[in-house]
Amino acid sequence: MATSDVKYSEKIYALINYEDPYVQPLILAALQKRLPESSYEVITSVSQLPSPSSRLLQWVQYESIDFDHLMSNPSTTLSNAYIIRKALIRKHYLSTTIANWITKYPDSVLKRHVKPSVEFEVDYAEFLDDALVEAWELKESWARNESLGEGGEEKKEWWILKPGMSERGQGIRLFSSEEELVGIFEEWDPESDDEDEDEEEEGGARSDAGANSSLSIGEQRKDKKEEKEEGNGIITSQLRHFIAQPYIHPPLLLSPPSLPSPSPPPPSPLRKFHIRTYVLATSALQVYIYRPMLALFAARPYVPPWDDVLQTDRDEAMRAHLTNTCLQESGDREGSVGLFWDLPSSLPQQPDLGSVKMDAQADWKDKVFEQIKETTGATFEAAARGMSIHFQPLPNSFEIFGLDFMVGIEPDGQLNTYLLEVNAFPDFRQTGSELSGMIEGLFEGVVNRGVVPFFGVKGEGGDEGDDGMVKVLDIDLGRR
């Protein structure tokens, strides 16, 4: 039964269970505002459907989607996620997606707006040499850095290491030499059995000598295990896939938004930030950008990657480089999230530019947005057409992605926007309670563009043009 054959009077059964107390009420509010009250009924289980062919909207966590029901009832069931989308959401797959597309289309905008990646797989630090046999870009970069000698720190090429399947900023590190990269992996490697035996012998010797210790060897091991389980540590063999990308330097730096107060404090020292863009992909395939975007700031003022603190206190130094607010403590998060369009039109003087003069006009945000639109559309087309095995949009699905972008300053002083990564089921809570209205507006746009057309109901609460959704891709993949 085609969608157009379904009578408008047939009720939509909405299974809404996002399992997030921040998101759940916002989805329900969006449905209430954008759908006629009599057009849908909220249910708690697929078993409550009058019949298998009843119109069903599933808006739940990925693991909870009844994909069997979705595939068995393609004309009456709509879900909030595609089944297969690794080509976008896994860093090493995305790297391959972009590289293949640029090889086929060398004039693609992706060549300018995505840093090329070096991919490799490694289980333990001792196998790193084998993993990097064909990493010519890294080896050539290291050779150039070594030729600079002492005093050439500021001219070194830096790289950023990212685990291909990690989330929430886990495992991201900076390096500029082979020794530094090896050190990162050695830091992550679990202790060997020989090391355990040595520690036990040393512990026994200390005990025999009458030494007092607040923690036994067993307790110390337990602490290390708990630290890794809590996300503060990394085990290389659990991540395995890695990419290394040239570090974006210098990034555009701004002061984070100030918290409301009777007497606003002076602007904070300049910090690194990235732009979180919410993207709706629907059917097979239209892609929309939600025009309201977030600016997420690092917890510490920016320091260049060659600063001494990176060598002496890696974790503290990375707080100046990582803009993922999931990594920040509650105190750091205060004032670290703002609206992109509220950023100043006049940009402050930037450090580390040398003789380069930054060329940025008052409309720099509009230009960045244009670059984001072009890059987003090209990325989804590259995945859909060039990696169709690993990205399969369905006509009866939609999905919200969180795309992260960073603005860098080119050698000629121009601003250039780079795609960092694509996230499935993004963490909406990082928006905070103050900006929850933005997320509710996003969900209203999703209902307008992804739900209303599929079920053929008449939307309420305004026309499509007022939902903030900007179409950046509309292609027919021939899937019905």
Q: What is the pLDDT of residues 275-298, one digit of tens each?
A: 999 999 999 999 999 999 999 999
Q: Is the separation of the CB atoms in 426 and 404 below 8 Å?
A: no
Whole-number Å distance between alpha carbons of 314 and 304: 13
Would you say the C-alpha torsion 169, 163, 231, 391 has a positive or negative sign?
A: positive
Mean pLDDT of the chain: 84
Q: What is the pLDDT of residue 206?
A: 40
Q: Say which residue, 43 or 466, is predicted with more confidence.
A: 43
Contacts with 211 (C-beta within 8 Å, 6 or more apart), sequence order: none
**pLDDT tens readout for residues 146-193:** 998 877 788 899 999 998 776 666 778 899 999 999 988 888 776 655
Whole-number Å distance between alpha carbons of 309 and 324: 20
Secondary structure of residue 273 in the 3-state scheme: strand
Q: Which H helix or E strand runs over 98?
A: helix 91-104
Q: What is the pLDDT of residue 267?
A: 60
Q: What is the pLDDT of residue 356?
A: 78
Q: Which domains does the chain have, with CATH numbers?
A: 82-115+248-480 (3.30.470.20), 191-234 (no CATH)
The reported pTM is: 0.85
User: Rounded to whole angstroms, what are the CA distances from 247 to 114, 157, 379?
Assistant: 11, 8, 20
**pLDDT tens readout for residues 373-394:** 999 999 999 999 999 999 999 9
Composition of the chain by helix, strand, coil, percent to 5: 40, 20, 40
pLDDT band at 422 (very low <50, low <70, confident <90, very high): very high
Whole-number Å distance between alpha carbons of 256 and 334: 10
Burial 53-92 (b: 16+ CB within 10 A, else e): ebbbbbbbeeeebbeebbeebbbbbbbbbbeebbbbbbbb
**Comparing 222-231, 302-311, 343-352, 389-398, which segment has the lowest mean pLDDT?**
222-231
**pLDDT tens readout for residues 444-480:** 999 999 999 999 988 776 665 689 999 999 999 987 7
Structure-token pair, residue 241: 């896939």
**pLDDT tens readout for residues 47-106:** 999 999 999 999 999 999 999 999 999 999 999 999 999 999 999 999 999 999 999 999
Q: Is the separation of the CB atoms in 26 and 440 below 8 Å?
A: yes
Q: What is the pLDDT of residue 190?
A: 63
Q: What is the pLDDT of residue 152?
A: 79
**pLDDT tens readout for residues 220-256:** 434 444 444 444 455 555 567 899 999 999 999 999 8
pLDDT band at 205 (very low <50, low <70, confident <90, very high): very low
Whole-number Å distance between alpha carbons of 453 and 459: 9
Structure-token pair, residue 15: 């299974």
Residue with tokens 């295990």, as numbered in its chain: 225
Region of 177 on the Ramachandran plot (φ > 0 left; ψ -120 to 50 alpha; else beta): beta
pLDDT at 196 > cutoff 50: no
What mean pLDDT comes out for the span 18-41?
94
